[in-house]
């Protein structure tokens, strides 16, 4: 894999990382999103400790991830049923065109 050395700044600290080149955009976007959330918390709450802001940010991001994963797990049976129906329709169309 093609490795790349980058530096990411989060909450006033710089973190040097060695990553796959294909991961760079996602990592930079994630770091930017974290910074945006931290700024939002700083402006909305009287919190002075960056550790508290980072904990609140981690909680918010984790909650969103859990919600997304939960929806995916709930929707999975419905999607499987839809896929099965589409496959059956395609098979029926192919069979009718062959006869």
Model confidence over 29-46: pLDDT tens digits? 999 999 999 999 888 988
For the chain, the domain total comes to 1
pTM: 0.66
pLDDT at 84: 78
**Could you say which DSSP state residue 12 is in?**
T
Model confidence over 61-94: pLDDT tens digits? 888 888 877 766 666 677 778 777 777 777 777 6
The domain of 51 spans 3-98
* pLDDT at residue 24 tops 90: yes
Q: What's the CA angle centered on 38, arms 37 and 44, to 5 degrees?
A: 90
């Amino acid at each position: 894999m093609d490795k790349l050395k980058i530096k990411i700044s989060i909450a006033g600290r710089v973190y040097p990382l060695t990553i796959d080149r294909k991961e760079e955009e996602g990592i930079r976007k994630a770091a930017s999103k974290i910074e945006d959330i931290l700024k939002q918390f700083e402006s909305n709450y009287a919190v002075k400790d960056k550790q508290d802001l980072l904990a609140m940010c981690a909680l918010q991001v984790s909650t969103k991830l859990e919600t997304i994963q939960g929806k995916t797990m709930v929707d999975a049976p419905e999607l499987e049923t839809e896929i099965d129906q589409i496959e059956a329709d395609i098979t029926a169309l192919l069979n009718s065109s062959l006869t």
